[in-house]
Amino acid sequence: MTGEPALRRGAIEPALAAEWPGLRLAWTTFPAVLGPSPPELRERLALVSDRFRGPQAIALRRQPIPHAYRVFFRHIGLEPDEHRVPVEALAVERMQRGGFRSQNLLDDAITIAVMDTSAPVWALDAAVVEGELELRAAAAGEPLGRGEHAVPLPAGRLVVADAANALAVLFGDPAREHGVTPRTRGLVLFSVAVPGVPDIHVEEALWTVWDLVAG
């Protein structure tokens, strides 16, 4: 296992920091060779699936961390019963499928991390990330991603961005050009903590994914 990568604090646009004190962006980057999950990771995923059943799913939204994300979603205009917070989206998927199905090393590691901490994690291909990450509002017509698949954003849409452009809408999937592919050889992981979510939850989520992927 390589040495632990440093966790970094992404910049928050001053207007957003003033409006939502406690909003934070944490991220890290490290080399990674991805592929299918090894047997031990599939076993761990099965254990997470087995211990999370109907009663736990029903009680999930009342727990402090998911509740904090639900409150923040409403503040930014997202209805959490339609656009579910990440841990609830995974819980619904588990109930619909009867369990978590192994997908690949990275996705399985993220599922385990999110279910263990309730903090969201997203992954980017490090080769197409420039400089530091930040959380800010988009300018009118600013492209999400770059290249032929980039789409214009409305003014004020909250995005995670690097030094060059917007990479992902806040709480949305990364732009196609910045997502992880079979050719990826380095990852940028990031998590967003909303007011009321202790740092330890997002830090543990990021460390968990790193440990499972790089270990």
Asked if the model's pLDDT at residue 161 lies above 60, the reply is yes
Mean model confidence pLDDT for the chain: 94
- Radius of gyration (C-alpha) of the chain in whole angstroms: 17
Determine the Cα–Cα distance for residues 15 and 192; give it in Å rounded to an integer. 17
Confidence of residue 132 (pLDDT cuts 50, 70, 90): very high
Q: What would the mean pLDDT of 125-143 be, rounded to a whole number?
A: 97
Closest CA to 208 of 144, 120, 141, 147: 120
Q: Summarize pLDDT for 63-87 with one digit per residue, the tens.
A: 999 999 999 999 999 999 899 999 9
Q: Could you tell me if 107 and 135 are in contact, meaning their C-beta atoms sit under 8 angstroms apart?
A: no
Distance separating alpha carbons of residues 147 and 161, to the nearest angstrom: 15
* CATH code at 8-214: 3.50.40.10
In this structure, are strands 134-137 and 143-144 parallel, antiparallel, or unpaired? unpaired
Burial (CB count within 10 angstroms: exposed 0-12, middle 13-18, buried 19+), residue 154 = exposed
Contacts of 202 (CB under 8 A, 6+ apart): 24, 26, 117, 119, 191, 192, 193
- Assess whether pLDDT exceeds 70 at residue 115: yes
pLDDT value for 134: 98
Higher pLDDT among residues 215 and 43, named by residue = 43
Q: What percent of the chain shows pLDDT beyond 90?
A: 85
- The answer to whether residue 145 scores a pLDDT higher than 80 is yes
Instruction: Give me the torsion for CA of 9, 14, 20, 22, rounded to 10°.
Output: 30
pTM for this structure?
A: 0.94
